[in-house]
Amino acid sequence: MPEYAPLPTDEQLQVLSQELGPSIRFDHRVLGGAGGTVDVLRLGDGTRLVLKRYWRPEADEVNPAESEFRALELAAEHGVEAPTPLWTDDIDLFPERAIVMSFVEGRVLLDPADWHDWAEQLAVALDAIHGIRPGPSDGRLFPTLGHSDGHRSEAETIEALQEHPLGMDLWARVTALRPDLEPEPPVYVHHDFWPGNTLWGGEKLVAVVDWEGGAVGDPALDVAYCALDIRMLGRDDAARHFVEVYREHSGRSLANLAYWQLQAMCRPMPDIAVWVPGWQALGFDISSDEARRRHSALIGEVLEAG
């Protein structure tokens, strides 16, 4: 399971009350996320807020709190459904990096009544995210990703791939495709867009969350990663529909989609079981063994296709 920050203390909540409103109290913790610790707070009038805390970055790393806060500002400016950023910890109230944002009423939906409609809403939301335009001063917060950049650095990826029986075969296919990649106009990418980072009111998508990893890159990166997650849910048909709708809605050809699909399969290496606690916390009943089987089957399918 992810490592969580301690619960906020009474003293920290008192300071937050002075910063944000009277009588802030702890309500509950949201489990399952890997990007940070998420706690729901409640004001005296019943309004709920979200306190999110992240690891402290190394000197050469982007501050995830600053990145997410700015990304949420940009989402609001561009009409993308997301929480509203309210406060950033410039006073070192917490040992971790921290921000406070609005609470969005909704739940993660991994069992929709209509899988095609669900996939369409995901595709339209992702296209809206790719329409975000960071400003000239935002470059330090949203790094430009090269073709060798996936979730981790290339060196770490290779090291992890070596621990998986199909890893180096997969990586050979990745490197074989790289010289023939088409130049694609870069866009803002969420870099962690998958169904578990969306909130739904009934069957309607109401917000996208977890924006701390934003970057600039090939839009097919986000498309491929989300499609992989949908396939891991056992819904190949919905994954295909998601890609088709994204292409149609965005007008983008996704010329490099096959390459980024391979990169997406590298992302959870060496063992996709690391994702299982997060899935289970969101209500998706899958075992580590089944996750490994599905992931290996998808890799084998790609390798067989040539």
115-305: which CATH number, 3.30.70.100, 2.30.30.90, 3.40.50.300, 3.90.1200.10? 3.90.1200.10
- Segments making up each domain of the chain, as ranges: 10-102, 115-305
Q: What is the DSSP letter of 219?
A: T
> What's the CA gap between 133 and 289, in Å, rounded?
41
pLDDT in tens, 250-260: 999 999 999 99
Q: What is the pLDDT of residue 2?
A: 61
Task: Give the H or E element holding residue 207.
Answer: strand 204-208
The encoded tokens of residue 258 equal: 């096959």
Sign of the C-alpha dihedral computed for residues 32, 233, 110 and 209 taken in this order: positive
Q: Answer yes or no: are the C-beta atoms of 198 and 205 closer than 8 Å.
A: yes
Other C-beta atoms closer than 10 Å to the C-beta of 18 total: 9
Q: What are phi and psi of 42, to 5 degrees?
A: -135, 130
* pLDDT tens-place values along the chain, 306 residues long: 468 899 999 999 999 999 998 899 999 999 876 678 999 999 999 999 999 999 877 777 889 999 999 999 999 999 999 999 999 999 999 999 999 999 999 999 999 999 999 999 999 999 999 999 999 999 999 999 887 665 454 445 788 899 999 999 999 999 999 999 999 999 999 999 999 999 999 999 999 999 999 999 999 999 999 999 999 999 999 999 999 999 999 999 999 999 999 999 999 999 999 999 889 989 999 999 999 999 999 999 988 876
The gap between the terminal CA atoms of the chain, to the nearest Å, is 36
10-102: which CATH number, 3.30.200.20, 3.40.50.720, 3.10.180.10, 3.30.70.20? 3.30.200.20
In the chain, what's the furthest Cα-to-Cα distance? 62
> What's the CA gap between 48 and 204, in Å, rounded?
21
Q: What is the pLDDT of residue 289?
A: 97
pTM, 2 dp: 0.94
Q: What is the pLDDT of residue 149?
A: 61
Q: Answer yes or no: are the C-beta atoms of 41 and 50 closer than 8 Å.
A: yes
Torsional class of 46: left (φ above 0), alpha (ψ -120 to 50), beta (otherwise): left
